[in-house]
Each structure stands twice: as structure tokens, then as C-alpha cells.
Amino acid sequence: MTLTLSTILAFIVTLAVLIVVHEYGHYRVAVACGVKVLRFSLGFGRVLWRRQPHPDGTEFVISALPLGGYVRMLDEREGPVAPQERAQAFNNRPLWQRAAIVSAGPIANLLLAVVFFAAAHWVGVQELAPVLASPPPGSLAQEVGLKAGDRVLSLESVAPESIAAEPDWRDVRSMTDLRMAIVQGALRGERLRLMVRDREGHAARMVTLDLDKLQARDVDEAMFDRAGVGVAYTDVVLGEVGPGPGADAGLRQGDRVLQIDGKPVDDAVDFLKRIREGVQPDGTASRRTLVVDRAGRRLELVVQPRVDVVEQRRIARIGVPLVQDAALVTVRDGLVEGLVDGARNTWDTSALTLRMLGRMLIGKASLKNLSGPGTIADLARRSMERGLGEYLGLLAAVSVSLGVLNLLPLPVLDGGQLMYYIFEAVTGRPVAGAWLRWLQGSGFVILLLLMSLALSNDVARFLGLH
């Protein structure tokens, strides 16, 4: 993660869009319910810009700290209200209207996510094709016999208790579809059935991954390594050859490695694994004989790797990067199909967010999964660089998170306010002032702790500690 001007700008744009929509949801429903809105603010703190009050009396402002926003409504609990305006005060509106106003912000974010996910599908997104790399030793993929170059055609998730359920096969269009299914299945403890075809195009076969064995705590690359199906297939094509063992052996940019020591190389993952593990007991690297294809000519070259120490482990390297030439597919939908996919993606992402939060709460998932503004900023920058479709997809995912998190029953969030209204609906009276102040204070402390944890995770990622 790098902190640059483009990263900061991407973060501000992303947050501004999502906050404006969230607060506009509150504002629009409040006005529809006859509540007078005094201020609509993007950001907190000192006002940097303001527009003359709207005919309905609302002042629109931009404030200095762009980490949120607020809609300030006329309310007798916050100051004196003129007798002729009492009917427009938020606290004097019927309970159902107050609940609608509070819930409108998160709902606006979820609806926005549907639109952005759909728009991403309409525009089209370049994604990695669902062609598998060599599975790591001991992974679930290796256990069921998956090989480098296998293409995943479709999948279905099966709950452990399911015995004779109707098949529910879904097409796998990209590696993103596959990785999402892996995450959901691992968190639910499900089996994942894959219909795959090998690189020669032979008849499709079915394999079953028992994702319950992963006992996933972190949604990270280590989890995908244990599953063995999270990395896309890449040929072994050498990049720019600088000074080092590769150059000494005569390797050149564009060489395609076919064999190591007389054995075929499956893909880039297999190549790196075999090179890196070539360290002898005395700490020196084994000399390797490579067969490469250079513009249609087969050449045999001998390379003497060097030994580096990475995370207290000795690995062999030839000092030549590989070209990332994994196959790409354009995922694009029609109008209706895009909306359906947008709604499904919003539902799946919401459920995944809630499930992960629940697992973190009971200790079954690591708190390292919490991300703060730094991670969002870096993802925003990278998605902007990859194109409009990618950026729209990120906006949708963050909008889902914002909507779901605001519905949590934490006193300072919209979900906490809704809990107060449920109490009022059941008992016939509002929460007592003393209790309200105590709950608000406690909720603020909890929220501050969560934000601190998310920021510390961002710092750890920035320093490469996560």
C-alpha cells in the first residue's frame, strides 16, 4: 500500500460519493415526512464552503474533515423550536416516520450498490479467466487432483447437512466468481463442487472441495493457498533480465521456460516453487538446466541460482521477473441481467460482511480483517487505474459495507437509533435521557476502538506486517 496524491484523491472521491448518497437518503425522506432540515454537511468540523439556504431552509456545506457527514434536523432536544415550527421538528414526528428517516441512509447505500454493481456489469470488467495454477502441496485442490491449466466451468455450494438437494450449478465467468465462492463456502463450512475441464479440453469432470477443513479465520491469500484454487494460470515467460544469475546463464526477456532439469514446467507457480526449493543442505543452490523457447528455437541453458534469506528461510533465485500474462475475460451483462446480478452481488456482499463481523465477534475470525481508510484509499487508486468497471465495482462493495455497518445496533449508528425506536414501540415510551446519554457514550467508545483497530491494521499493511 502506497500513500500518494492519487491515492488521497481517489479516497476523497470515493468517500464523497458514498457519504453524499447516504446523507441524501436521510435528507430526502426527512423532507418527504415534513421534517425541517437545517444543514446538509459533507464532512465534519470547520465549514469550508456553504451555499445559501435552500427554499425549504436547508443549508448545504462542505466541512474540513472528509470522513463522514451529517444531516441536522429541527429537534426540540437540541435547541429551542418556534411554536409555529413544532410540527416540523424531528422528535414530534410519528415513530414510523422517524424510523424511516433513520433507515433511509443505509438503504440508500444498499440501493446505490445495486446500481454500481449493475453499471460495472454493463460497462464490462476485465478479469482473470478461471484457469487454475498449480495447486500448492497439501491443498484441497491437490487432494482432489486438480492440475495447472484446469478451467472451472461452473460450481455449486453444498451445505454439510444437505443430502439430496436439487443441483444449483452456476456458471463461473472469472476468477473473481470463484474466489467469492471460496470465501463464502469457507466461512459457512460448506463443500464446493466444481465442474472443470483440463487444458487439453477433455470432457468436463466434477471435483468436490471440503472447505470446512480450511477453518478460515482470515480472508487472505493464505486461505486461498490452503484451498489451492485462488491463483490464475500463467505461462513461464521471462521479463526484463538484469544483472544476476539469469543474465550470466544467457537468459533473455521473452524466453518461455519449458523444462527444468528434464521435467516439464506446468506454469509460473510450479516454476517458482521448483527454483526456490533448490537449496542444498550446505546452503548453496543447485545448478539448474532450463530448456527455453526463444522465438521458436529450443535452447538449453544452465543457470546457477543465488540464495537469499526471506523471512528466516533460504530460497534460491535466478533474479529474473516473470511476465504476468494470465488470460483475461471481459465480464459484461445486458440491462436486465446486470440489474439481477447487481442485486445478487449486493445481497451476497451484505451477507458476507455480516457473517465476517459475527465471526470476528465470537473469535472465529481475526480482527486483522478490519480495514480502514488507508486500505480503501489504496484500493480506490488501483481500481481507478484499471478502468471504470473496476472502480464502479469497488464503489459498490464499499457502499455495501457502509450500509451494513450503519445498520449495526451500535448506539451512535443508525442501527442503534432503530433499536431505540423498537424499544419505544414495545414499551410505549422513549429511552430515558440518562440511559440515552450512557448508551451514546458507550457506543462512541466502541466505535472509536473499532476505528483505531482498523487504522492500526492499515498501518500494519503499509509496513508489510500483515
| pLDDT by position in tens, the chain (length 466) | 455 666 677 777 888 889 999 999 999 999 999 999 999 999 888 989 988 776 778 899 999 887 788 999 999 888 888 889 899 999 999 999 999 999 999 999 999 999 999 999 899 888 889 999 999 888 999 999 999 999 999 999 887 665 555 678 899 999 989 988 888 888 888 889 999 999 888 889 999 999 888 876 666 677 888 888 878 899 899 999 989 999 999 999 999 999 999 999 999 989 988 998 888 888 888 899 999 999 999 999 999 999 888 777 888 999 898 887 788 888 888 899 999 999 999 998 898 888 888 877 777 666 676 776 667 666 777 777 777 888 888 889 889 989 998 998 888 889 999 999 999 999 988 888 788 888 888 877 887 887 777 777 767 666 655 5
Which H helix or E strand runs over 316? strand 313-317
Residues 380 and 353 in one domain: yes
Residues 309 and 366 in one domain: no
Residues 262 and 152 in one domain: no
Domain tally, the chain = 3
Residues 207 and 177 in one domain: yes
Query: For residue 422, is it within any domain?
Result: yes
Query: For residue 235, is it within any domain?
Result: no
pLDDT at 255: 93
**Cα(280)–Cα(283) distance, integer angstroms:** 5
Start-to-end Cα distance in the chain: 11
In DSSP terms, which residues pair with 260 in a beta bridge? Answer: 263, 290
Choose the catalytic residue: 23, 127, 156, 190: 23
Residues 344 and 462 in one domain: yes
Query: For residue 404, is it within any domain?
Result: yes
Domain boundary among 200, 227, 254: 227
Using CA atoms in the order 399, 401, 407, 413, what is the torsion angle rounded to 10 degrees?
-90
Query: For residue 415, is it within any domain?
Result: yes
Residues 307 and 203 in one domain: no
pLDDT at 54: 67
pLDDT at 162: 57
pLDDT at 458: 66
Q: How does 57-83 read in b/e, with b if 16+ C-beta sit within 10 Å?
A: ebbbbebeebeebebebbeeeeeebee
Is residue 221 part of the annotated active site? The answer reads no
378 within 8 A of 146, measured Cβ to Cβ = no
pLDDT at 144: 93
DSSP 3-state percent helix, strand, coil across the chain (nearest 5): 45, 20, 30
Query: For residue 429, is it within any domain?
Result: yes
Give me the CATH number covering residue 150.
2.30.42.10
Residues 365 and 444 in one domain: yes
pLDDT at 217: 66
Residues 179 and 117 in one domain: no
Residues 379 and 461 in one domain: yes
Name the residue range of residue 343's domain: 110-124+333-466
pLDDT at 5: 67
Residues 148 and 214 in one domain: yes
**Cα(237)–Cα(250) distance, integer angstroms:** 15
pLDDT at 1: 47
Query: For residue 217, is it within any domain?
Result: yes
pLDDT at 386: 74
pLDDT at 116: 94
Residues 206 and 274 in one domain: no
Residues 159 and 281 in one domain: no
Query: For residue 164, is it within any domain?
Result: yes
Give me 105's grid cell: 441512509
Q: Which residues contact 95 (CB under 8 A, 6 or more apart)?
A: 421, 424, 425
Query: For residue 412, is it within any domain?
Result: yes
Domain boundary among 289, 317, 345: 317
